[in-house]
Every structure is written in C-alpha cells, then in structure tokens.
Amino acid sequence: MNSLRKIIHIDMDAFFAAVEQRDFPEYRNKPIIVGGLPGSRGVVATCSYEARRFGIHSAMPSAHAYRLCPQAIFVKPRFEVYQAVSSLIRKIFADYTEIIEPLSMDEAYLDVSTTSAHQGSATLIAKAIKSDIRQKTELIASAGVSYNKFLAKIASDMDKPDGFYLITPEQGADFVEQLPVSKFHGIGNVTSQKMQALGIHTGKDLKNLPLEVLQQHFGKAGFHYYNICRGIDNRPVNSLRAIKSIGVETTFQQDINCRKEILQHLQDLLENALAKAADKQLTARTLTIKIKYSDFVQITRSKTLPYPLEILSNSLASLEHLLINTEIGYRNVRLLGITLSSLENQEGQSRFQQMDIFSKCY
C-alpha cells in the first residue's frame, strides 16, 4: 500500500443549481431544478438542496419532479456559464499542484503529495482550495482527503454540502469494511445487485472472499475489488497531460458477423468514448478501431483528421470509412474496440460539445 500519497477529491455542491442561485438571487433558498422543463420529456440535470428534500434527484424525469414539488422553479441549463466556472476552479487547483485529473465539469482528483504550501498538509490545502473557490466563484465545494483516489472520492461525499472529510491511512481499511458496496464508486447498480445476490453487502463481505472467487464472478474488476475492500488503490492521479488515449472495448459472449450489428456496436463504443473525452474536456483527432476476429487475429485501423472529432454524427463518416478495409460482414468478430487519441485540451467547450451534453441531460 502506498500510504505516502496525499489525494484530494473536490466536488462542487449542486453545481448547475448553485450557479443559478448565485446569478439569480431570487432563486436562493428555493427548490431549483436545472434541466428539462416539466411539460417536456426531459430529465433533471441537478437540483438545489432545497429541492432534494422533496426526493428530487439527477436523471429523474422532470414531469415526476414536478409532481413531487409543483412549486419548484425549473430552469434551463446555461452550459457556457458552468464551463467558465469549471475553468476557473481548475486554475485554482493548478495553484496547488500540477497533478490534476478532472472527472467532469465540477469534480477532480488532485495529488498534493509533493505540494509544499501549507506545510504540505493535505487537510490545510483542501481547506484553502475550498476557500479560494468560495472567494473567486461565490460557490461552495466539498473536499475529501485521503491516501488514494477511491477513498478521497468517497470522503468528498461524506459531509456534503460544504463538506470536508479526511480518511487517514490508519482508518482506511476499517472505513471500507463498514461501507455498503452500493456506495463504492465504480460499482454501479448492476454490479451492486449482483453482489447483493451473492450475499455481499459491505466491504467486509467483499474482504471475506478470496481473489479467485472475485475474479471468477467479476472478471478483471475482481482484482480491483479485492484491493479496494482493503483500502488499497494504487491508481495514479492521471493529469491531463499524462492521458494519451481514451479507449473502450467490448468482448461478445457469442461471436457476431452481421455488418449492421457490428456498426451499431462501434457507434455505441464511439459515443461512450466521446462522452469520456468530453468529461475530461478533451477532444481527439485520431480515431482507431480495433477488431478481433473469432480466430483471435486482431487488426486496427486509424484515421487522423485535421479537426477534432466531437459529436457522434460528425464522427460516423470516419467510422464507416475505417471499416472499408476490414473483413466485417465476412468473418466472425469476438471483440470490438474504439480508441481516441491525438488528444487536445479544450479550453471552453465548443458549441457542438455543449449540444451533446445538453442532449444527454434530457
């Protein structure tokens, strides 16, 4: 275990809604819902803490939110403003460390192991960052501090809003033991339900299982689960400069050979990869497809464009073009993958990206 690292996870509170309450004082202390309007088929992007008391949350259909709280104020998102705040908070992070890994517009991991400000105390640095954010943006962030990413992320959620929570190396293992697996970051609903069915409810239950059993049930992720339930997570904080590519792939339980089906899978993977890039505020100019045929022969085809691949509709032509020199439709395929590279940092998102995020919110 690398107990020497000092990792901070920062996450803004009720981000889009807090920005709206900041800019429109008449919204303050009121249930505000940012996202689709109630008459639409849209969903809630986020809502103020006042609205959360009514049981409203992100991704809930707006019509449902309206039924729970008819007096709530529904507002449309203003992505350019959120983006500007996002850039501002990243500049604040950069005052404390170069090792910053943004996860989305409003959250990031920071490795402050070698930061000398505030006598190198991660607690004091986290508090200083919270205070800088408040001063420069008039918004509130929550911070989690620990010795790895997994615990820092959980910590930032422990004391929200305006939270600060520290998990020391001495506390880490015990802390995870009592934690419900549904709260583990990276364990989604499907895996969580699978774990419940296997009688795994807490970190302790997970810890009782040997590595082989975890790998048998959860494949590659089994090793990660084996570690995190012991408070161990050696993943580095990947600063943007360190990210060279973003890849996603899928192996089929049964080989496929229908060209249409393969194209659909590749489109889904591409959409997934583009969303990951957008979350990190990166754009890509190189698209690579990977195809592994049923006999394990693997090919890759790449195309680099003079402009960034941004949204799916702009990228489909490149995808189809790459498929020309393959044998899809003729040979059985067991794995498909998409990799985006030639990544560039996107300061201030383009209109296309905003539209893409916009469509995801609704």
Question: Taking CB under 6 A as the criterion, which residues in 316-345 touch ligand TTP?
Answer: none
Q: How far is the CB of 86 from ligand TTP (least distance, A)?
A: 10
- Which one, of 90, 185, 74, lies nearest residue 141 by Cα? 90
**Measured from the CB atom, is 12 or 291 closer to Mg ion?**
12
Number of residues in contact with ligand TTP, rule: CB under 6 A?
Answer: 16
Tell me which of 5, 6, 7, 13 binds ligand TTP, using CB under 6 A.
Answer: 13
Tell which phi-psi region holds residue 45, choosing left (phi > 0), alpha (psi between -120 and 50) or beta.
alpha
Q: Could you tell me the CA-to-CA distances from 47 to 68, 353, 361 in Å, in that order?
A: 13, 22, 13
Report CA torsion sign: 43, 49, 51, 53. Answer: positive
Torsion angle (degrees, nearest 10) of CA 99, 90, 118, 235: -30
Least distance to Mg ion from the beta carbon of 107, Å?
A: 6
Please state, in angstroms and rounded to a whole number, the distance separating the CA atoms of residues 69 and 81.
26
Active site residues: 107
Give the SS3 label for residue 192. helix
State both tokens at 242.
């360190």
> Which residue in 3, 23, 24, 59 binds ligand TTP (CB under 6 A)?
59
Q: How far is the CB of 26 from ligand TTP (least distance, A)?
A: 20
Residues 115-134 that bind ligand TTP (CB under 6 A): none
Query: Which residues, 6 or more positions from 171, have their beta carbon under 8 angstroms from its beta carbon?
Result: none
Among 11, 50, 101, 310, binds ligand TTP (CB under 6 A): 11
How many residues are there in the chain? 362
Nearest CB to Mg ion, comparing residues 15 and 293: 15
What residues numbered 145-174 form the site for ligand TTP, per CB under 6 A?
Answer: 160-161
- Mask 279-318, x = binds ligand TTP (CB under 6 A)? ----------------------------------------
- Least separation in angstroms between CB 36 and ligand TTP: 10
Q: Which of residues 66-125 bind Mg ion (CB under 5 A)?
A: 106
| Sheet containing 7-12, strands listed edge to edge, beginning at the edge strand earlier in sequence | 100-104, 107-111, 7-12, 141-146, 164-166
Partner whose footprint covers residue 133, from ligand TTP, Mg ion, none (CB < 5 to 8 Å by kind): none
Of 11 and 233, nearer to Mg ion (C-beta) is 11
Instruction: Select from ligand TTP, Mg ion, none the partner in contact with residue 46, using the beta carbon and a kind-dependent cut-off of 5 to 8 Å.
Output: ligand TTP
Q: For residue 65, state whether it binds ligand TTP (rule: CB under 6 A).
A: no
When asked if residue 27 is in the footprint of ligand TTP (CB under 6 A), the reply is no
90 to 86, 121, 179, 320, 347: CA distances (angstroms): 6, 20, 30, 37, 11
Contact call for residue 214 and Mg ion (CB under 5 A)? no
Is residue 11 at the binding interface for Mg ion, with CB under 5 A as the rule?
yes
Instruction: Report d(CA 156, CA 144) in Å as an integer.
Output: 4
Q: Is 106 in the site for ligand TTP (CB under 6 A)?
A: yes
Regarding 46 and contact with ligand TTP (CB under 6 A), the answer is yes
195 binds, among Mg ion, ligand TTP, none (CB under 5 to 8 A by kind): none
Q: 227-246: b or e for each residue (b if 16 or more CB lie within 10 Å)? A: bbbbbbbeeebbbbeeeeeb
Assess contact for 297 and 291: CB atoms under 8 A. Answer: no
Percent of the chain that is helix, strand, coil (3-state, to 5): 45, 25, 30
For ligand TTP, which residue of 45, 73, 92, 112 counts as binding (CB under 6 A)? 45
Any contact of residue 58 with ligand TTP (CB under 6 A)?
yes
Extract long-range pairs of 204-209: CB within 8 Å, 24+ residues apart: 204/177, 204/178, 204/229, 205/181, 206/181, 207/177
Summarize as ranges the residues that interact with Mg ion (CB under 5 A): 11-12, 15, 106
Summarize as ranges the residues that interact with ligand TTP (CB under 6 A): 11-16, 45-46, 58-59, 104, 106-107, 160-161, 361
